C-alpha cells in the first residue's frame, strides 16, 4: 500500500513539473518599440514613437539591429549577442563567421551596451510592493497584470502566459514569477506629465540583414560538419 502511495505521489510530481516545462523558441524575431506621450494629462496628441531594437535569433545566436531614432529606416548599429557578451558587427560584411568573431574580437558585456535593447541586472523599483490587477485582453491576447504606484511614477506591467521562452526578456525574474512573457510596460511620470509605453513584440520572421548573416553561418556550419 505504501509503495502505491509513493508511486502515485511521484506520478503527480512528474505531471506538475511537465506542466511548467519551458519551451525554448528556436527561431524568430523580437521588436522593442516605445511610444512617448508629452503633456499626457491634457491628451495623447503629442506623441513620439521609437523603434528601439530589432532582433533576430536562431537558437543561441542573436543578431540585434539598432535603428536610428530620428530616421528609423536607417540602421545605426549591428550586434552579435551570445550569452552575456556583445560583439559589434560591420553592416557591409555579409559573410562574417560568428565563430571567428568570438575568437578574434574583444567583446562587450551586454550590461554595458548603451544602444538598443536594455540588458539589466537591476530590480524594478518597489517590485516587492507591487499590487495584483485583474487580467485583461489587449490586441486579442489575454494578459496577467500588476501595478507599482509611487509618489513619482505609476506603472503597469502586462505578462502573457506562455511556456515559450525567448532569448531576450525585459525582466527575466518577472517572467519566472508569473510563468509568462513580459510584453508591455506602461509608465506615467507624475512630475513631468509624461506617459511612456514599452512593448516587446515577438515575430516569426528574421530581418533581411540578419537573415543573410544567419543563413551564411548555418550554411558554413553544415558544410564543415559534412
Report if pTM > 0.75. yes
Question: CA nearest 165: which of 15, 82, 57?
Answer: 57
**137 within some domain:** no
Is pLDDT of 22 > 60? yes
Please provide the size of the chain in residues: 226
Would residue 193 count as lying in a domain?
no
| Cα separation, 181 vs 163, whole angstroms | 8
Number of domains in the chain: 1
What is the rounded average pLDDT of the residues 5-25?
56
Residue written as grid cell 508629452: 38
Helices and strands (DSSP H and E) totals, the chain: 4, 13
Higher-confidence residue of 121 and 215: namely 215
- Rounded Cα distance between 97 and 86, Å, is 15
* Residue 10: pLDDT over 80: no
Residue 16 pLDDT:
46
pLDDT of residue 20: 53
Domain extent at residue 101: 23-29+57-118+207-225
Q: How far apart are CA 133 and CA 200, in angstroms?
A: 20
Amino acid at each position: 500500500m505504501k509503495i502505491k502511495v509513493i508511486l502515485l505521489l511521484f506520478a503527480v510530481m512528474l505531471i506538475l513539473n511537465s506542466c511548467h516545462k519551458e519551451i525554448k523558441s528556436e527561431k524568430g524575431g523580437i521588436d522593442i518599440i516605445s511610444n512617448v506621450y508629452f503633456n499626457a494629462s491634457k491628451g495623447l496628441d503629442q506623441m513620439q514613437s521609437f523603434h528601439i531594437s530589432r532582433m533576430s535569433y536562431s537558437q543561441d545566436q542573436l543578431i540585434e539591429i539598432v535603428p536610428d531614432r530620428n530616421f528609423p529606416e536607417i540602421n545605426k548599429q549591428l550586434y552579435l549577442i551570445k550569452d552575456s557578451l556583445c560583439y559589434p558587427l560591420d553592416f557591409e560584411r555579409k559573410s562574417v563567421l560568428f565563430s571567428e568573431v568570438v575568437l578574434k574580437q574583444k567583446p562587450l558585456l551586454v550590461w554595458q551596451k548603451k544602444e538598443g535593447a536594455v540588458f539589466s541586472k537591476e530590480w524594478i523599483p518597489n517590485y516587492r510592493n507591487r499590487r495584483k490587477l485583474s487580467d485583461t485582453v489587449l490586441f486579442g491576447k489575454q494578459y496577467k497584470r500588476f501595478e507599482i504606484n509611487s509618489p513619482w511614477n505609476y506603472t503597469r506591467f502586462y505578462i502573457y502566459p506562455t511556456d515559450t521562452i525567448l532569448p531576450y526578456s525585459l525582466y527575466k525574474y518577472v517572467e519566472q514569477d508569473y510563468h509568462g512573457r513580459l510584453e508591455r510596460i506602461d509608465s506615467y511620470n507624475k512630475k513631468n506629465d509624461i506617459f511612456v509605453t514599452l512593448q516587446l513584440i515577438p515575430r516569426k520572421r528574421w530581418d533581411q540583414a540578419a537573415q543573410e548573416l544567419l543563413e551564411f553561418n548555418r550554411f558554413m556550419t553544415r558544410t564543415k560538419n559534412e
